[in-house]
Amino acid sequence: MTMRYSFGGDEHVFVEVDEEMSLKAFFKSLSITNAVRESRIKGVTEICPANASFQIKFDPDLIAPDDMLRELQRLESAADTTDVSLKTRIIEIPVLYNDPWTRETLMRFRERHQDPAATDIEYAARINNFASVEDFIAAHSGSPWFVSMVGFVAGLPFLYQMVERSRQIEAPKYLRPRTDTPKLTIGHGGCFSCIYSVRGAGGYQMFGITPMPIYDPRQEISYLREFMALFRPGDMVKWKPITLDAYHDAVADVEAGRLAPLMRDVTFSLTGFERDIDSYNRKLEKALHGH
């Protein structure tokens, strides 16, 4: 991993931690951006961690660009990235895979797809060598995912699967982006899954939909009253496949203000995780379900 620094005009420093995606690169980006936040460098206005890079917005009237660069390089060498331990949350997200709404949408945009004869999930299952869509769903929901970036639009999480690279699900984006995606669609592009926080354009393959809102600018939903966006970089997500009936029940619960998402505070250790991925993930799942 070689860090590459570049200026984005006169107001941003852009730092590529690594050209390719990995948990190591993500954690390095997260620990350096945390260090930037703690060090309170004058002139910093935005600190944006991303998957394998990060970006700092600053006011060059308060700190010269070259000084800003030197501060970041100083923090890079000081940041302890050998054994990253992170206080974070694990959140269960119910998913209706193969739902009627994304199915209707994907049919409308079939001519923009790699495989117009299949649905997105059938296509993703096939190119990732799964025997069936059921097996694919089991793999997608079988291990937790890291929120490795929040953005694109308000509150949208990019999620990185917590398994070794050989087992990661990969899928290309649509040949041409759609002009429409249902709100709360579970999408996938490259090695990232996402939850579309609002309705709009999108290029990721659509696998399902969650009944659980993750962004509420009116802050009326019980668990979004404190802040309008649910996710922060470093959160973990565990998908829970649900039925159509359970989906409708959950939607009714949201409307009645009854939905209480399952989420727990946990501490994550990268070294512990890498030592034995599957047993570490089982431990996380136990923490989630409180037993």
Closer CB to another protein, 54 or 223, in the complex? 54
User: Least distance in Å: CB of 62 to another protein?
Assistant: 12
Is residue 10 part of the contact set for another protein (CB under 8 A)? yes
> Contact letters (x/-) for another protein, 187-206, by CB under 8 A?
--xxxx----xx-x------
Q: Closer CB to another protein, residue 156 or residue 242?
A: 156
Quote the least distance from Cβ 249 to another protein, whole Å: 26
The only residue of 2, 38, 40, 61 in contact with another protein, by rule CB under 8 A: 61
CA distances (Å), origin 216, targets 28, 233, 281: 30, 18, 30
**What string marks each residue from 149 to 188 as x (binds another protein by CB under 8 A) or -?**
xxxxxxxx-x------x------xx---------------
Shortest distance in whole angstroms from residue 8 CB to another protein: 3
CB of 282 to another protein, least distance (A): 26
**Under the criterion CB under 8 A, does residue 120 sit at the interface with another protein?**
no
3-state secondary structure the chain: CCCEEEEECCCEEEEECCCCCCHHHHHHHHHHHHHHHHHCCCCEEEEEECCCEEEEEECCCCCCHHHHHHHHHHHHHHCCCCCCEEEEEEEEEEEEECCHHHHHHHHHCHHHCCCCCCCHHHHHHHHCCCCCHHHHHHHHCCCCEEEEEECCCCCCEEEEECCCHHHCCCECCCCCCECCCCCCEEEEEECEEEECCCCCCECCEEEEECCCCCECCCCCCHHHCCCCECCCCCCEEEEEECCHHHHHHHHHHHHCCCCCCCEEEEEEEHHHHHHCHHHHHHHHHHHHHCC
Does residue 115 bind another protein (CB under 8 A)? no
Does residue 127 bind another protein (CB under 8 A)? no
224-253 residues in contact with another protein (CB under 8 A) are: 228-229, 231-233
Shorter beta-carbon distance to another protein: residue 51 or 210? 51
Considering CB under 8 A, how many residues would be counted as binding another protein?
55
Alpha-carbon span 197 to 230, nearest angstrom: 10
In the complex, least distance from residue 65 CB atom to another protein, rounded to whole angstroms: 6
CB 233 within 8 A of CB 224: no
* 11-50 binders of another protein (CB under 8 A): 11-12, 14, 16, 18-22, 45-50
Q: Which residues bind another protein (CB under 8 A)?
A: 6-12, 14, 16, 18-22, 45-55, 57, 60-61, 65, 149-156, 158, 165, 172-173, 189-192, 197-198, 200, 215, 217, 228-229, 231-233
